Amino acid sequence: MVNLQATSLKVLNNQLYVLDQTVLPQQEIWLHCQSVPAMVQMIQGLQLRGAPAIGIGACLLLAVLAEAGESRAGLQQAALTLRAARPTAVNLMNAIDVMLAALGQADYRQACITAAEALFAEDVALCQRMAELGAELVHQGDRILTHCNTGGLATVGIGTALGVIRTAHQQGKNIQVWVDETRPLLQGGRLTAWELEQQHIPYHLICDNMAAMLMAQGRVDKIFVGSDRIAANGDFANKIGTYNLAVLAHYHQVPFYVVAPYTTVDPECATGADIPIEQRAAAEVKGVAGAFGQLCWAPEAAEVYNPAFDVTPASLVTGWVLDTGVFNQQQIAAGALNRQPG
């Protein structure tokens, strides 16, 4: 298997390493991933996160195991276990289905390796196309608000929504970024802020509940977010808090765009109501944990509701930026998502 390098994943000498995103930005620690249980734990514990990166990471592990001589039956069982690691991010299911097809071939080990390398390269290309298309929507001096983390940490390319922002910056458009901290796990405050600093892109970090005031003051020109699953009608699931932004953007007439590759589209989901929403641990809401340690601020017995994602209706979206183009509501209503590749 060839060596591969991305922001959060790398394969060196047929060994897979994952950048632990739970300790960023204070520490940069690469974890050696050698088994399916380890990968599942990394995905569920958000050491590896971001819908495209999760899918590619799982596939790279299968390729590493195939290179090491794992049997067809062992690889197939591993694939099924990985496929079920997180329920909302459809990229994982789509990527694993490609691997399962490869495992059905006569030379299944080489087919598995080739498929994983191809998926890696495809994600890099998809990110680049989305970034170029999305950057065309950005004007000189735009103040852009984004939520969660959608950059290189969440993909193996330059990212989805953050890839658009990065490309617009590289084009010299003098943009300013508002970064939602993204409660409860602070992916914006920890990860997006870290990536923007790496790229020397001007930004301000804000609490999630400050976005409405900024829009009311006319200080947000556009909003770009990512997605973990897009239904056939354009409804989409993304990190909890995205729906809030869409409602606020609609009220304040701020253009609201979702950026995702075709691998995030799920034609089997007719509407957002069909998207499964992952429920996560109460501890994430009752306190905080990271490289700095752990802190609990809520009563130990507090009951918690902690959905990881919410669903934004298509009616609140200005445009869908996919690798194949930018689509408006009329095009989506006419079935544009059902005509995507894959």
Which of 123, 142, 180, 228 does the annotation list as catalytic?
228
Q: Which of 199, 118, 131, 200 is nearest to 159 (CA)?
A: 131
For 226-263, give the secondary structure using H, E and C. CCCEEECCCCEEEECCHHHHHHHHHHHCCCEEEECCHH
Q: How far is it, in rounded angstroms, from Cα 304 to Cα 283?
A: 8
- The runs of H, that is alpha helices, within the chain are 36-44, 51-67, 72-83, 90-103, 108-135, 161-170, 187, 193-198, 211-216, 242-252, 283-286, 329-333
- CA dist 219 and 203 (Å) reads 13
Does residue 208 have an active-site annotation?
no
User: How many CA atoms lie less than 13 Å away from 328 in the CB half-sphere?
Assistant: 3
State both tokens at 144.
Answer: 């852009």
Residue 191 has which token pair? Answer: 């990860």
Instruction: Characterize the bridge pairing of strands 222-225 and 203-206.
Output: unpaired
Q: Quick check: helix, strand or coil at residue 66?
A: helix
Active site residues: 228
